[in-house]
């Protein structure tokens, strides 16, 4: 998990100035949920986004956000 924190710092934290803790939390949430999980390509997922990888692995799944459903991605 240390690699993720390194990427987060390199791609977000060191590039932006946050005036409040709340602003930083909102921006980090947006980075992780919108950019990192949905758009950023990953070497561990054959150089496609995590969302695209999920669609290939679970083609019939509606959404991983359904209550009670858990998927683990490496």
In a domain, residue 73? The reply is no
**pTM recorded for the entire structure:** 0.52
Q: How many domains does the chain have?
A: 1
Judged by DSSP in three states, 11 sits in: helix
Give Cα separations from 52 to 17, 22, 63 (angstroms): 31, 30, 12
* Least confident interval from 5-9, 10-14, 36-40: 36-40
Judged by DSSP in three states, 22 sits in: helix
In a domain, residue 72? The reply is no
In a domain, residue 64? The reply is no
* Least confident interval from 4-18, 33-47, 56-70: 56-70
Contact 74, 66 (CB under 8 A): no
Domain hosting residue 9, numbered range? 2-57
What pLDDT, in 10s, does the model give residues 19-54?
Answer: 999 999 999 898 888 777 777 777 777 788 878 888
- Nearest Cα to 18, choosing from 8, 31, 28? 28
In a domain, residue 40? The reply is yes
């Amino acid at each position: 998990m240390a690699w993720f924190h390194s990427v987060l710092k390199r791609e977000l934290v060191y590039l932006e100035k946050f005036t409040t803790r709340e602003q930083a939390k909102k921006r980090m949430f947006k980075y992780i949920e919108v950019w990192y999980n949905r758009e950023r390509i990953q070497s561990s997922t054959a150089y496609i986004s995590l969302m695209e990888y999920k669609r290939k692995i679970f083609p019939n799944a509606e959404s991983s956000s359904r209550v009670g459903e858990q998927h683990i991605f490496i």
